[in-house]
């Protein structure tokens, strides 16, 4: 009671809160948590494709690389996405506005790299349409040679096992189209939710 008497009339005691804790209303909190959930789903699909890229891509074929998605871009996109997810989680926990805006900047870089990779992936997806059967491929690749014993080379006799005239497909052609599209939709949703939570 003695402590309460020291507080002037009309004043209410409020605990010390972080910088933007007062602005973290119920609606903003819902937006922030929803962004966290969609970000986790987006990262899960992204890591799935990242694993495919790592498994299918040996880096080169006879000293030549056929991949369209370069390692610095892929690793940068994945690394920044995971780092941004961590920063966003901390910003929700401690309610610091500055961390939220840092997350927005990270998302801008991640989105830029993602759009770049998507534009590089589209031609690869078009290349990955069903290929001709082996006899047809042999006819396409070897039909221009003179007929004779020298022209009867089997595909396994060709260095690298590649059919002449047919470009080898990069590792990212194994990305399933539904996974790519869902990853993009969830990424756009995440960015929208994060920005909305920051400006409300």
For the residues of the chain, what is the DSSP string, one character each? -HHHHTSPTT--------TTGGG--HHHHHHHHHHHHHHHHHHHHHHHHHHHHHHH--S-BTTB---SS-HHHHHHHHHHHHHHHHHHHHHHHHT-HHHHHHHHHHHHHHHHHHHHHHHHHHHHHHHTSPPPPHHHHHHHHHTTSPSSGGG---GGGSGGGPPTT-PPPPGGGGS-HHHHHHHHHHHHHHHHHHHHHHH-
Predicted pLDDT of residue 115? 95
Q: Answer yes or no: is 135 within a domain.
A: no
**In this predicted model, what pLDDT tens digit does every residue of 69-109 receive, in sequence order?**
888 999 999 999 999 999 999 999 888 889 999 999 999 99
Rounded CA separation 15/131 (Å): 68
Q: Does residue 61 sit within a domain?
A: no
Q: Identify the band that residue 193 occupies on the pLDDT scale cut at 50, 70 and 90.
A: very high
Read off the pLDDT of residues 11-23 as tens digits, 9 standing for 90 and up: 444 443 333 444 4
C-alpha distance across the termini of the chain, in Å: 39
Name the residue range of residue 73's domain. 24-56+69-126+168-200
Is 162 contained in some domain? no
In a domain, 94, yes or no: yes
What is the CB neighbour count within 10 angstroms for residue 67?
20
76 inside domain: yes
| 46, 122 Cβ separation under 8 angstroms | no
User: Does residue 199 lie within any of the structural domains?
Assistant: yes
Q: What are phi and psi of 64, to 5 degrees?
A: -115, 140
Q: Is residue 14 part of a domain?
A: no
Query: Within a domain: residue 147?
Result: no
Instruction: Report whether pLDDT(62) > 90.
Output: no
When the pLDDT of each residue in the chain is averaged and rounded to a whole number, the result is 74
Report how many domains make up the chain: 1
Q: Which residue has the higher pLDDT, 2 or 118?
A: 118
Of the candidates 21, 27, 28, 37, the residue with the CA atom closest to the CA atom of residue 89: 37
pLDDT band, very low/low/confident/very high, at 160 (cuts 50, 70, 90): very low
In this prediction, residue 58 carries a pLDDT of 56
């Amino acid at each position: 009671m003695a402590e309460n008497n020291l507080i002037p009339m009309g004043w209410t005691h409020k605990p010390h809160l972080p910088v933007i804790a007062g602005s973290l209303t119920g609606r903003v909190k819902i937006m922030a948590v929803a962004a966290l959930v969609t970000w986790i789903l987006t990262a899960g699909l992204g890591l799935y494709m990242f694993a495919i890229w790592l498994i299918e891509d040996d880096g080169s074929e006879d000293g030549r690389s056929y991949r369209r998605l370069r390692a610095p871009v892929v690793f940068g996109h994945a690394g920044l996405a995971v780092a941004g997810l961590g920063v966003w989680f901390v910003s929700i926990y401690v309610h610091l506005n500055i961390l939220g805006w840092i997350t927005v900047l990270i998302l801008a870089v991640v989105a830029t790299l993602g759009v770049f990779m998507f534009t590089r992936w589209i031609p690869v997806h078009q290349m990955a349409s069903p290929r001709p059967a082996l006899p047809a491929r042999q006819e396409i690749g070897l039909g221009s040679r003179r007929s004779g014993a020298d022209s009867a080379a089997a595909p396994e006799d060709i260095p690298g096992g590649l059919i002449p005239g047919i470009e080898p497909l990069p590792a990212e052609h194994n990305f399933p189209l539904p996974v790519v599209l869902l990853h993009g939709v969830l990424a756009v949703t995440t960015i929208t939710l994060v920005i909305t939570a920051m400006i409300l």
